């Protein structure tokens, strides 16, 4: 998900955290050259630039694939590393807060219910 009207990563992070307030207290920290969103000290999303990646599992991953979304990736000394536990969210979700919260809740449920 990218937001062309949002000019900075920090502004985007603040916007996303504000939109996700219905889920509870959203914290975060710097990771992988991006910013990890957490709830109850469990990471459920990564923001890099103005793109958000939600945590997926074997059930929810297909929804992202069906929309042509890509996994989170980063460059390492060994090449590009794809982190298939996190997939890019569709850009339009930022325009529809109710849908954004719904997709984020799925990601939160995955990390909260993970044993």
pLDDT at position 9 is: 84
Sheet with 51-55: list strands edge to edge: 26-31, 34-39, 42-48, 51-55, 79-88, 71-76
Q: Is the pLDDT of residue 7 over 60?
A: no
Q: Round to whole Å and give the CA distance between 85 and 19.
A: 23
Category of 24 on φ-ψ map: left (φ > 0), alpha (ψ -120 to 50) or beta: left
Q: Could you give the domains of the chain? A: 9-113 (3.30.1460.30)
Kind of pairing, strands 34-39 and 51-55? unpaired
Reported as a single tens digit per residue, the pLDDT across 81-110 is: 999 999 999 999 999 999 999 999 999 999
């Amino acid at each position: 998900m990218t937001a062309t009207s949002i000019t900075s990563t920090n502004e985007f992070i603040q916007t996303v955290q504000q939109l996700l307030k219905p889920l509870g207290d959203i914290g975060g920290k710097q990771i992988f050259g991006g910013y990890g969103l957490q709830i109850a000290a469990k990471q459920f999303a990564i923001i890099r630039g103005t793109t958000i990646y939600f945590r997926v599992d074997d059930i929810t991953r297909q929804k992202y694939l069906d929309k042509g979304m890509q996994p989170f990736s980063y460059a390492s000394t060994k090449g590009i590393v794809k982190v298939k536990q996190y997939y890019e969210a569709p850009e339009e979700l930022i325009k529809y807060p109710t849908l954004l919260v719904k997709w984020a809740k799925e990601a939160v449920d995955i990390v909260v219910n993970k044993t």
